[in-house]
Amino acid sequence: MKSIRWLLAGIVCLAAAILVWYATRSSPAPSDESEDGAGSLAQQEIALPVRVSRAWRGTLTKSLTTNGTLRARREVDLVARVGGEVVGVYAHNGKHVRKGDVLVRIDDREYRLAFEKASAALLAAQIEYRTQTASEFLTAPDSARVREELGRARARWQEAIRAHKEGRLDDAALARARREYDATVAYLSVDRGDIIANKSGLAAAQEAYTRAKMDVEATELRAPFDGVVGNLELIPGRHITSGTVVCTVVDLSTLLVDVDVIESEAPRVHPGQRAELTVVALADKSFTGKVLTRNPMIDPKTKTLRVTIEVTNLPAFHSLMPGMYATVKIQTESYAHRTLVPKAALLVRDQRPLVFVAQAGLAKWHYVEIGEENDEVVEIRSGIAAGDTVIVDGHYTLAHDAKIRVVARDSRPAAREHR
């Protein structure tokens, strides 16, 4: 037992020695600096990274944003006025056509036969008309007799009016007297040539001839203006009826977008104002436009004003299409010759606006008076001047005279004109 105790005691002593040796090896070497020296090192100020921009003189433009759908200024459904078999299709969807180009042709044989028949009937009526107009009895009526009959008709009408006022003639009788008077005046006053044209059948023949000619011309469906063909589904051999929509012709040279402006913003919008448009399908592009028209009335249901924007910078071939959803920013007011800074430079502390100006590696705190602003820039009326370098990022926790280092410069205001 005694040997076991001595063995355990030796093990404990050996373990204690090992622990002491390990602690001695792992403890840091004594520092040559005093505690005061270490504290001053920790308190050294670090230059904070910031991004800066430069205040500039320029124009601040305010705007309002709304949405709408693009449409073509001219878009026409080409409708067949006559029916028949389609014998030719000379266009396809997406094809650019010129005004007057034949797009679809309908079998015209039946219509040409009708036209020839109408032409012959017209010739016969013209001959009859010339025969009747050769008679002096028909072409030279007795003017004295005409005046006498007109006088008698006028006297009968005046008598009917007096009798109606005195109660001797009821309303129905007065109406009959009026019809008789109007018919007599029309018959005696009409040109003799018109009467002969009707009696000879010339008027009816001319009408039939004109209709037959129009039917022949309607067998060729032509583009009404320069544009692009769409919704064309016809093929040769198909039979169509009068009133069938053959295709749509769209003029893509001018695109419009109708937008709604809320009632409170309506007084700010006027024709001629500049606009910027973007569409989801072409997110990397923007288009310019102008306010073309505005409705003079507010919609009583939606309390909005309908405004039409015209896209003004369309190239000859573009990717915009009617039906696209567009975001429109209308520039409503402009303020020229103002000192401007990016809106990101503006801070509010103690309920007062301020900006930090980067100067000789330090952040200088400047209270400012602000004026007009939009989503991106703000006008500075006093506190800093154009050309000052203002901090736009990394300044939320800065203090006056804090050390800074510029890591990036904002180049947006290089043009000195913000639109």
Query: What pLDDT, on the 0 to 100 scale, is given for residue 342?
Result: 95
Query: What pLDDT, on the 0 to 100 scale, is given for residue 15?
Result: 54
Query: What pLDDT, on the 0 to 100 scale, is given for residue 18?
Result: 54
Nearest to 381 by CA among 360, 355, 405: 355
* pLDDT tens-place string over residues 225-274: 999 999 999 999 999 999 999 999 999 888 999 999 999 999 999 999 99
The set of residues, in sequence order, having a beta carbon less than 8 Å from that of 207 and lying 6+ positions away, is: none
Buried b (16+ CB within 10 A) or exposed e, 9-32: eeeeeeeeeeeeeeeeeeeeeeee
Q: What is the mean pLDDT of residues 170-198?
A: 76
Q: How confident is the model at residue 2 (pLDDT cuts 50, 70, 90)?
A: very low
Q: What is the mean pLDDT of residues 376-396?
A: 94
191 vs 109 pLDDT, higher one: 109
Query: What pLDDT, on the 0 to 100 scale, is given for residue 416?
Result: 42
Query: What pLDDT, on the 0 to 100 scale, is given for residue 145?
Result: 74
What is the torsional sign of CA 79, 82, 84, 87? negative
Q: What is the mean pLDDT of residues 119-136?
A: 78
Query: What pLDDT, on the 0 to 100 scale, is given for residue 34?
Result: 37
* Of the candidate ranges 66-70, 116-120, 171-175, the one whose mean pLDDT is the lowest: 171-175
Specify whether the CB–CB gap between 273 and 330 falls below 8 A.
yes
- Residue 159 pLDDT > 70: yes
User: Where does residue 410 rank: exposed (0-12), middle (13-18), buried (19+ CB within 10 A)?
Assistant: middle
Query: What pLDDT, on the 0 to 100 scale, is given for residue 193?
Result: 62
d(CA 312, CA 49): 44
Q: How confident is the model at residue 201 (pLDDT cuts 50, 70, 90)?
A: confident
* pLDDT tens-place string over residues 210-227: 999 999 999 999 999 999
Q: What is the mean pLDDT of residues 68-86?
A: 94
* pLDDT tens-place string over residues 62-76: 999 999 999 999 999
Q: How confident is the model at residue 365 (pLDDT cuts 50, 70, 90)?
A: very high
Q: What is the mean pLDDT of residues 104-118?
A: 95
The set of residues, in sequence order, having a beta carbon less than 8 Å from that of 222 and lying 6+ positions away, is: 99, 100, 101, 102, 103
Q: What is the mean pLDDT of residues 26-41?
A: 40
Q: For strand 48-54 and strand 402-409, is the pairing parallel, antiparallel, or unpaired?
A: parallel
> Is 0.85 surpassed by the pTM of this model?
no
Assigned token pair, 153: 């008709």
* Of the candidate ranges 89-98, 194-203, 300-309, the one whose mean pLDDT is the lowest: 194-203
- Residue 38 pLDDT > 50: no
- Residue 205 pLDDT > 90: no
d(CA 100, CA 222): 5
Q: What is the mean pLDDT of residues 94-114?
A: 95
Highest averaged pLDDT of the listed ranges 6-15, 84-93, 315-324, 396-405: 84-93
Query: What pLDDT, on the 0 to 100 scale, is given for residue 124?
Result: 85
d(CA 181, CA 164): 15
Q: What SS3 state is found at 5?
A: helix
d(CA 25, CA 381): 67
Query: What pLDDT, on the 0 to 100 scale, is given for residue 272?
Result: 94
159 vs 185 pLDDT, higher one: 159
Nearest to 179 by CA among 163, 165, 160: 160
Query: What pLDDT, on the 0 to 100 scale, is given for residue 199?
Result: 67
Specify whether the CB–CB gap between 334 and 59 falls below 8 A.
yes
